[in-house]
Structures are given as structure tokens and as C-alpha cells.
Amino acid sequence: MPPSTDVRRPRPVRGERLELSIESLAHGGSGVARRDGYVVFVRGGVPGDRVIAEVAKSKRAYAEARLVELVEPAGDRVEPRAPHPGAPWQVLPYERQLAEKEAQVRDALSRLGGFEQSPVEPIVPALERWRYRNKVEYSFGIEDSGSLVLGFHRPGRFDRIDPVADDVLASEAVNAVRERALEWCRAEGLSAWDRRSGAGLLRNLVVREGRRTGRVQARLVTSAGELRVPELAAAAGADSFLWTRTGGVAETTRDGETMTVSGEAALEEELQVLGARLRFAVSAEAFFQTNTDMAEVLYGAAADLAALTGRERVFDLFCGIGTISLAFATAAGEVWGVELVPEAVDDARRNARANSIDNAHFAVGDVRRSLRPLLEEAGPPDVVVIDPPRAGLSAKVVRRVLETAARRIVYVSCNPTTLAPNARQLVDGGYRLETVRPVDMFPQTPHIECVALLERET
């Protein structure tokens, strides 16, 4: 379709279609195009594409648009394996994805951290490029035809769910559980939760897989209401089945009451780090790295940078179920983990016992308030490991970390745009940024993981 309303206004309006050339990729993965200097972020566009894009949001400084037609594809565009809103970079050759991620880490450190000569190492490629995810959250919805679907949110739409035929980031086993659960729910004539009206029953199906143990767990999330859930559990064919009921209005799988319908409540997984094979029980509420193979590589890199000799006292902040804590405990003097989610800390303690590790201690708490008491109780650490959520560290947490005066800080980050300013704050507080090692945990997606080492200036 020709660009009907591409008049040269400085600021386009919502719904307007623009013909654009994509120049680069932004943090977050959208293509960047310019129109008389005005920036348009185009979801689905990659550098070298000439596209028609429809404006979804228009602001004074920039607009957001989605690709509606490829006028001329970039020379190195590749055919996507299957439509998947969570895998927008599958149109880029893998080597290009890696180069782009490495460049984005450098860019963030320079622009947002002021590190002109940032010590970024070559990115560590993923071991598996497809079907690597050990956890997927699917959403129920209704297609235009009126039939029940179980898939992903249409990008930019909170109320529309597109079906998924083959989730190319999940294993065949996870795909099969999703298909069987959907088939059963369709046959029962069950309704999907309507994200506009709040009516309807079925919200999400969260499928988790222990990649080393072969165990698959499914968790159905519904609104208040009844269904023959033991029959659904049997039909889905997972090793364990949980049911969460919530009255919440927000699209989240974390609210509500969860009951175990069949099998174990926690999923079993194994990780091999620093030569030790560790077994983990992961409860439904707890965080676990979504790529098991690459979690081993990531934690191995963190351990490598921590340079443990067997004597160190380590603080593991944002420790989750204790994966890093327990791996480090096998090579350090003692480890102290802090984590906000009580269920995750229960898992961490149970995991320590199950692996016969007695030099790892865990506390439930907000890092912001727990670090000073921990410092008093445990004494000053030699190494602090930080693995925060995407938002990174607040200025206050940075100050608390500086108070520990640890010799080394190992910062595991899933967001270079927050790692960069945090690294700058730590450097301003007396540390040297020694190295940043990007690790590709998430092929086919724009997500970037890094491990950074900061050493105290003496």
C-alpha cells in the first residue's frame, strides 16, 4: 500500500503511515529511522530495510511505529522460522545479532556511563540458538473467528492475543503441553479472560522445564471460577500442575493463590558451575535464569571474575533461589545471600541443605535496608555479587554497596542501560571498571546480559 499521508510534518500523528529507511537498532530492539532529523522507532525494522511503518505513538522528541510493509528488505535479512513476538531478531543472521549486542553494550557504557574506552570483551555466543527457554508464559485470548487461543500478546496491544503454532524458543515438550492444554480447554468450551471487561476465566499458562532433569511443570492462571482442573492436569501431560486463582485486574502471573493439583510444587533443575553439579528446587514465585545452558556459562563467568580462592566472604545481593550463592559457596569461605521474595529464600535454604552446603546463609529482605544489618552481622565482604532486576540499583543501594568496601564487585546485569550509570556511580565511589563480558542468553531477541568486574582502587 502506498504511504497515503506521508506529508512532511515534523511530528507525525497516530495512525499515519510513513515510508522510512532503517539506519540502526535501538536499545530494546526497534529499528531507528530519521525523518528530517525526527527519530521514529520502528518495531520489526532492521538496518538496511526500506519500510512502510504505521505510527502508534507520537511524542515531541520521537515516534514509535510498527512495520506494516517491507518495501525493500535489508540485504542480510533472513526468513523468520515462525511468527513470534518474543523473537523479533530472528530476521537477523546470528553473527549480526551478536555484533549488535556487543555494540549496544559499548554504546550504553559510553553514552550513559561516560566510559569512552570501555573494557568490553567479545560477546560469548549462546550454545543453543533455538528452543533454549526453560520458562514461557502464554496468554489465553479469543481470535477474531471467536475461537479460544493460547499464545502471546500482539505487540503494543494489551487486549489482543495471537495464537502460536510453534514457539521456536521453547522445547518440543513445552510446545506439546501448551497444545494439549489448549485442546482440552477448547473441548470444555471454557472462556478466556477479557482484558477489557474483566469477564471470563482462563488467563495464562506458565510452562517451566527442568532442562537437566527433564521435568515439565505447568501452572494455569485463572480468574475466580471453577473448572475440572485435575482433568486438565491429566490432559496437559506435565509432570506437575499448579493452579493459581486471582481476582486482580493486572496482567500478571504473580498475584493470587496457588495450589498444587498434581506432582511437586517446586520444579527440579540442575546446574554445573565451577565443577560442582548442584540441584535446585525452584518454586513457582521464584526467579530462575530462563536459559539453563547459558546460566551455567554466565555464573561461570561471574565466578571467573570473582577469582575465588576458597577464603573469601561473599555477599550475593538479589540472590533469588541461591543459584550464584551456592555455586560460589563451593569455592569461597562463606556466602551471604539477600533476596526480597520469601519463597525464593525458602528455596535457597532448602537448596543449600539438599546440596550439603553449610557455608551459605540467606536473609529475606530489601537490599536497600538489609545491607547495613548484614554488614554488621557478617562482617565486611571481600566480594559483592549484584544481580538486580532490569531497573538496576538505586543511588541509595549504590551507596550501601560502597559502604561494604569490598575488594571486588561482580555485577551481573540484564540491562546495559542501567549497568552503565551504576558502573559510573561505583567508579566515582572509588572502583575501577576492569571488564564487561556480554553473554548471549537470549538469541533471536534484543535482550542483553553482561557480567562486569569492578575492583576497588587501593
Minimum CB distance to ligand SAM, residue 126 (Å): 17
Give the interface with ligand SAM as residue ranges (CB under 6 A). 287-289, 318-320, 323-324, 338-341, 344, 366-368, 387-389
| Backbone torsions φ then ψ of 212, nearest 5 degrees | -90, -25
Give whichever of 46 and 367 is closer to ligand SAM, judged by the CB atom: 367
Cell matching residue 222: 485463572
Minimum CB distance to ligand SAM, residue 213 (Å): 17
Kindly list the strands in the beta sheet with 135-142, ordered across the sheet, starting from the edge strand earlier in the chain.
161-163, 148-153, 135-142, 202-209, 216-222, 240-245, 257-262
Strand, helix or coil at 238? coil
Choosing from 185, 319, 414, 450, which is the catalytic residue? Answer: 414
**Alpha carbons 343 and 326: distance in angstroms, whole number:** 17
* E strand or H helix that includes residue 293: helix 292-306
Minimum CB distance to ligand SAM, residue 117 (Å): 28
All residues at 6 or more sequence positions from 400 whose CB lies less than 8 Å from its CB, including other chains: 367, 368, 371, 372
Q: Are 102 and 437 in contact (CB under 8 A)?
A: no
Minimum CB distance to ligand SAM, residue 73 (Å): 36
Nearest to 387 by CA among 357, 368, 415, 356: 415
**Alpha carbons 106 and 101: distance in angstroms, whole number:** 9
Give whichever of 323 and 445 is closer to ligand SAM, judged by the CB atom: 323
Q: Are 287 and 344 in contact (CB under 8 A)?
A: yes
Minimum CB distance to ligand SAM, residue 283 (Å): 11
Minimum CB distance to ligand SAM, residue 450 (Å): 12
Give whichever of 46 and 453 is closer to ligand SAM, judged by the CB atom: 453
Q: Around Cβ 431, how many Cβ atoms within 10 Å?
A: 21
Give whichever of 367 and 406 is closer to ligand SAM, judged by the CB atom: 367
**Alpha carbons 205 and 164: distance in angstroms, whole number:** 13
Give whichever of 29 and 322 is closer to ligand SAM, judged by the CB atom: 322
Residue nearest ligand SAM (C-beta atom): 320
Give whichever of 18 and 441 is closer to ligand SAM, judged by the CB atom: 441
Check if 414 is active-site. yes
Q: Are 409 and 400 in contact (CB under 8 A)?
A: no
**Alpha carbons 164 and 150: distance in angstroms, whole number:** 7
Q: Around Cβ 144, how many Cβ atoms within 10 Å?
A: 6
Residue count of the chain, please give it: 458
Minimum CB distance to ligand SAM, residue 294 (Å): 12
Q: Are 433 and 76 in contact (CB under 8 A)?
A: no
Give whichever of 265 and 340 is closer to ligand SAM, judged by the CB atom: 340
Instruction: State the catalytic residues.
Output: 414
